[in-house]
Amino acid sequence: MVSKTKQLSILVLACISFLNVRVAAQDYKAIKTDAEYFFRDSAGTEIIGIRIDSIQPAGNDIYYYNFKQLRPTNYDCWSTDGASWLGDEVVEKQDGNFQFIVYPFNPPDSAEIFWIETKAYVSQPWRFYNYHTINDYIEASVSQITLMNFLGLSDSVKTISLQRKNAAGQLVIDPINDATILLSKNYGLIRLPKFDDFNSFPRFFEIAGKTNPSVGIVIPTFHDIYNFDIGDEFHTIYTVFTSSYLRTTISTIRIVTGKETYATSDSIKYTYHECKSVTKNYFSVDTTYVSNTDGFVSEIIRFNELDNEGMARMPYETIISSSLVPQRAYSSHMYLFNGRTWKTQDDPTAGYYYYSVDCWQPAITDSCLTDQGFINGLGGPYYYCYDFWGMSHEMNELVYYQKGAETWGTPLNCDSLMHVGMKEPSLRKMVSVSPNPASGIVNITAPIDLQLPGRFELFDLSGRPVAVFAVQLHSQVFDLSCLPAGLYSYRILGTTGEVFRGKIIRQ
């Protein structure tokens, strides 16, 4: 008879052995649950994410469920509880291998199954994916294990190479050949395909950020989106077609001159120097100047009003609007805009309306459909919308910005905006300022047809005049060393009333 002490020792050893098997199987674990992970299309700008919402053991297997997406359940209905881009199920087998399973509508036995053998050694092949309609398959093998740096992190990474082969094991020419999957020991899959549309449109995504702690790309908050500094400059063009023959365009230049955060941290006030013009185009020929302004404006941004239902959601995650009747389901998306995160939200009115518990149906609307977009550090919303008939549309475009030394786009010209309908000044009518930025002495060269004597006026960012100089020569030196460092606007006036404007940076 075995003593109780010996029985206990055997039980402890058995538990330790089981734990060792499970721990060993977790080496190079494909899916991690400790954070949200974000991935960028390796050939584009789209960003998708992983956030495991639930884990369910089933015998010796473990099932992982990424956040839910809007998915069609048949040809008439959509589900707000559909599978994610990782698939309907992600299964960790007892041996540490992972299955990514995508179930189609019909037939139910043709599921798309993808295998990641996390414990495979170098040159060990396995079947990553089997095609259903033909006997071809995709073979995977670990081509190397190296120390790799990404997102400022360093980890051991397995490179898994893919090759398409026929039933005889011969190589088949395919773009998928030599594509790679990257499996990090401590961070899971850091390069992987978008499994839900792999068979029709294979795309690979690479890790671009993670939370806990946050590194790289993560979902921007409205505090991030509207985080401006004094001197930031934004140029926008808003256009609306109210009919097939009438177009209104508003061109705006804004330079941040003041910033005030409220004590409650739910609002922020910005003051801008603004240059804006409005034009109307009638029957594509008559351009009518409506108004122009060149002054200072203020804007209060209330974060509690902007932080709506979908802003903090993952890309593709289901959002159900509580403000529409019947309720609407829609999604959000993320992209990169000149290296900055661009979060967009589908127009809820054009989403899917509630028909029954398991059936949401596409809404039909003939209104202007607007997908709102917000850019990290550049504000918003920026959008393009069109009506059902294509007879009218509306857009708000960011065409240029400057944040510190960072610039993008083609800037608008305030002088041109103030003279809508007139030709741009020729080169001989442009003002030259050098050096700019200037530490003190600056040379101003005015157009030769400027009628002298004239005036050279300087204004600070609040619009307050800070200096006035007499202009006696078309090329003249001025001393700005008495002015504090900063951005200034200038105006040069001739005796005939001609005006030239621009900006000077005093270092």
Averaged pLDDT, 22-41? 80
The answer to whether 501 and 432 have CB atoms below 8 angstroms apart is: no
Q: What is the pLDDT at residue 308? A: 59
Is the pLDDT at 320 greater than 90, yes or no? no
> pTM of the full predicted structure?
0.75
- Per-residue pLDDT band at 121 (split at 50, 70, 90): very high
Residues in the chain: 507
Q: What is the pLDDT at residue 1? A: 45
Q: Which two tokens stand for residue 326?
A: 């019947």
Is the pLDDT at 322 greater than 80, yes or no? no
Sequence-distant (≥ 6) Cβ neighbours of residue 18 within 8 angstroms: none
The DSSP annotation for 81-139 comes to EE-BTTBSEEEE-TTS-EEEEE--SS-TT--EEEEE-TT--BT-EEEEEE-SSSS-EEE
Determine the distance from the C-alpha atom of residue 58 to the mean position of all C-alpha atoms in its chain, rounded to a whole number: 37
pLDDT (tens digit, 9 = 90+) per residue, 181-201?
Answer: 999 999 999 999 999 989 888
Is the pLDDT at 391 greater than 60, yes or no? no
- Per-residue pLDDT band at 497 (split at 50, 70, 90): low
Quote the CA–CA distance of 230 and 65 in Å, as a whole number.
Answer: 45
| 439 to 155, 194, 316, 478: CA distances (angstroms) | 48, 54, 51, 12
3-class DSSP state for residue 202? coil
- List phi, psi (to 5°) of 8: -65, -40
Q: What is the pLDDT at residue 369? A: 62
Quote the CA–CA distance of 22 and 20 in Å, as a whole number.
Answer: 5
pLDDT (tens digit, 9 = 90+) per residue, 171-182?
Answer: 999 999 989 999
Is the pLDDT at 390 greater than 90, yes or no? no
Report the range out of 173-187, 305-319, 371-385 with the highest average pLDDT: 173-187
Sequence-distant (≥ 6) Cβ neighbours of residue 107 within 8 angstroms: none
Q: What is the pLDDT at residue 371? A: 75
Quote the CA–CA distance of 130 and 60 in Å, as a whole number.
Answer: 24
**Cα torsion through 350, 342, 230, 405, rounded to 10:** -150
**Would the CA dihedral through 357, 359, 360, 361 be positive or negative?**
negative
pLDDT (tens digit, 9 = 90+) per residue, 440-457?
Answer: 889 888 877 677 888 888
Quote the CA–CA distance of 466 and 389 in Å, as a whole number.
Answer: 54
Sequence-distant (≥ 6) Cβ neighbours of residue 21 within 8 angstroms: 94
| 495 to 325, 451, 456: CA distances (angstroms) | 64, 5, 12
Q: What is the pLDDT at residue 327? A: 82
Report the range out of 35-44, 106-115, 282-291, 407-416 with the highest average pLDDT: 35-44
3-class DSSP state for residue 285? coil
Q: Which two tokens stand for residue 122?
A: 């170098």
Domain boundaries, the chain: 29-216, 222-409, 425-506
- C-alpha angle 413-417-423 in degrees, rounded to nearest 5: 85
Averaged pLDDT, 149-155? 96
The answer to whether 258 and 271 have CB atoms below 8 angstroms apart is: yes
Averaged pLDDT, 9-31? 49
Q: What is the pLDDT at residue 2? A: 45
| High-pLDDT (> 70) share of the chain, % | 83
Quote the CA–CA distance of 194 and 267 in Å, as a whole number.
Answer: 39
Q: What is the pLDDT at residue 341? A: 95
- Could you say which DSSP state residue 220 is in? P
Q: What is the pLDDT at residue 6? A: 41
Averaged pLDDT, 362-372? 70
End-to-end Cα spacing for the chain: 91
Between 122 and 297, where is the model more confident? Answer: 122
Q: What is the pLDDT at residue 67? A: 94
Exposed / middle / buried, residue 243 (Cβ in 10 Å: 0-12, 13-18, 19+)? exposed
Is the pLDDT at 431 greater than 50, yes or no? yes
Quote the CA–CA distance of 234 and 378 in Å, as a whole number.
Answer: 8
Averaged pLDDT, 202-223? 94
The DSSP annotation for 349-402 comes to GGSEEEEETTEEEE----S-EE-EEEETTTEEEEEEEE-TTSS-EEEEEEEEEE
Q: In three state form, how does the secondary structure of 125-162 look?
A: EEEEEECCCCCCEEEEEEEEEEEEEECCEEEEEEEEEE
Determine the distance from the C-alpha atom of residue 307 to the mean position of all C-alpha atoms in its chain, rounded to a whole number: 17
- Per-residue pLDDT band at 43 (split at 50, 70, 90): very high
Q: What is the pLDDT at residue 8? A: 39
Q: What is the pLDDT at residue 4? A: 41
Reported as half-sphere exposure (CB side, CA atoms, 13 A), residue 167 has a value of 4
Q: Which of 129, 40, 24 is nearest to 87 (CA)?
A: 129
Q: What is the pLDDT at residue 32? A: 94
Averaged pLDDT, 345-362? 81
Is the pLDDT at 291 greater than 70, yes or no? no
Averaged pLDDT, 221-247? 86
Averaged pLDDT, 488-502? 75
Domain 425-506 has CATH 2.60.40.3080: yes
Averaged pLDDT, 426-443? 74
pLDDT (tens digit, 9 = 90+) per residue, 449-492?
Answer: 677 888 888 887 766 788 888 888 888 888 888 888 888 878 78
Between 204 and 247, where is the model more confident? Answer: 204
Is the pLDDT at 420 greater than 60, yes or no? no
Is the pLDDT at 87 greater than 80, yes or no? yes
- Could you say which DSSP state residue 305 is in? H
Round the average pLDDT of the chain to a whole number and report it: 83
Is the pLDDT at 496 greater than 90, yes or no? no
